[in-house]
Structure 1
Amino acid sequence: MTGPTPAGRAAASHPSRRRTAADLRRWRRYLAAERAEAGWYRDLARRRHGEERAILLALAEAEKRHEQHWLDLLGDDVGRPVPTELRFRILGFLARRFGGVFVLALMQRAEARSAYARDADATATMAADEQIHEEVVRSLATRGRNRMSGTFRAAVFGANDGLVSNLALVLGIGASGVAQETVLLSGLAGLLAGSLSMGAGEFVSVRSQRELLEASSPSPDAAHALPHLDLDANELALVYRARGMSATEAQIKADLALADVSAAARGVNHLVDEAPGGEAGAEADEHETHGTAWGAAASSFCFFASGALIPVLPYLFGLTGPVAVAVAASLVSVALLATGAIVGLLSGASPMTRAARQVVIGLGAAAATYGLGLAFGTVVP
């Protein structure tokens, strides 16, 4: 005979407590949420293979245990299934259709918002589970974040620079009192010049960074020297000491590498695949994080151009004066809100906080330039 479930133990710890209608509604919402979360992980698992698939299915099983907790508490009052919140339905749709790093980032946020730590009817184990689930999902999302971070960084910087710099340029020139044609031409020139500058700058920056990383990576050619090293001197230990190991650790590792000098492949693995500091594969991760030079350049160029076009749109459609300023500022604000929210979602932070920060910084810079244009502008007949 099995012992009482966690829910049964929780109910027994509150023998005098009455089950109110509010309790039942809350438990049903939790039940619906747990079923939805288990569905997310199963849907994502269908799009994965190997270890990732196994991890996602294990998370789904954990959510099923939480589901059973609320079923036990509800007993005969389970009733008909209640609809899940809109955000749960949206996330479920995304998990079924896409399943990329954006979905994992949203799931990380959902796990972080768990209310179990503040609910007396949830067990401490369930609250701890949710915290661990957040870390598991964060770890699953990290690889995808690393792969896209180089190009994504260039895209975000490019879009924001295009939005803010061209809005500031257009508003500053417009406030000086020049003709509409001059404002439009200045905006288009700023779009082209800025796009080319951003693309070239990103190419040089990323290419230079990758070259520095490559220069710091172990040389495969050094492995060919292993069979000819003086076994008594064993200078291979100096390599590991230079990478940050203690003298004792370096000597042990070098002895292992040279225990059989005829096993060249073993020596190659020890010398080449070991990253500085002893973490294998760190160089590969660094290269992934920075992305390719051409990818970053193209991303930066395109996103700067798309961002810089937005504040020019009112002038392209013939608007002038304060109306054009208001429309340009409004369009840029919406775009800044979108980019800020996306950055917040991918970083696992609050999207609204990041969105508000983007808008405040962007409009603040544009307002300063607009004020300078008013102060130093001239009236053109």
Structure 2
Amino acid sequence: MDHIELSDAIADFARLIGRVEETGERMCIIDGGEPTSVLLPAAELAELEHFAQRAPSGARHRPRTRSGQGHPFGPDPQGPYIRYVHADGERMTFVRDRVVVAELRSVEEIDWLEDRARTARQSYMPPKQADAFEEFLARQGPVGDGVAWIADSWRNQEPFTEIVFINGSTAEDVALAYGADAQDIADGLLLHQVEEQDAREGTDNLTRVLAFGEENGWTWLGYHDFDHAFSRSLNPPPEQQITLSATMAKAIYEFSYFEDGAYQNPFPIEDGAEDRRDMYELIWYTPGEAPFAPEAPLSFLNLHLRIAEKAGNWTDNIALFFEGLERAFGLALPRDAITSGNVRCARPARR
């Protein structure tokens, strides 16, 4: 980036703008040897703004510009260009033939934009590259035991009616937030111990415990929701939450997905907008058909389900859907530990 003294820039602004328009390169304006502002192509500024506004919020706020004084009101001709001075008196827009060609911004503002844009670009891929990468990820096999193995027993409400996956919180913290007994958690109570106690004492505590653990970066929960003994929400909400609910008596098997507390459930493809539902039941899934409309938040699951169908590991619709979730999110449940009862659990907190 070339530098030019402020006095020289003022003397022939039109030539400076023409150079930026022709070369597509920035010009840094200095005053007494110190950089003060940057003249850059309008398209480059538009790109910076596009990515900067998509970066996560940070502690550093956008630099404020001083209130403008002494600048002309209205369009200001600069050779073949028209200069428009912004209300702050520092930012300027240059137009030729009703087309914006260049912008003037302070050095501090450009630094701020570049820093935020750099953060946002790290997670950006062009559409074709993103599609190819998504297909590559979808073709990777499930990690560990996956979750498809539990689909058949879950359909019959065994060993749990509710299976929840939470990203962003430890298993112990989630169990406590759900209302599990802190002493059971501290003691390391295991599922088979509750089952053995039920057999000895004729109790039915197995249906009133919360099983929990961590697999592949996710906290998982398993429980029955017969008497609403456990909470269904966390405060603050987790980064991601996936819930699978089975109600065998009504043949209702639901799937829901939240990001940062916002409901993301896609709607199934229907003939009209009025038919779109605010939930998703697994019985709607038909192998060979894309279950989610292209504009739905979870439309990318279509690809993972298609890969699961081609893999031929399962024929049951729910198991296939669960394998799609394995591939999309990396979900897993410890098969041997759950079937043997060697997983941690806790009863509802004592009141």
Q: TM-score, normalised by structure 1?
A: 0.25
Of structures 1 and 2, the one scoring higher in RCO (CA 8 A, sep 6+) is 1
Higher strand share: 2
Q: TM-score, normalised by structure 2?
A: 0.26
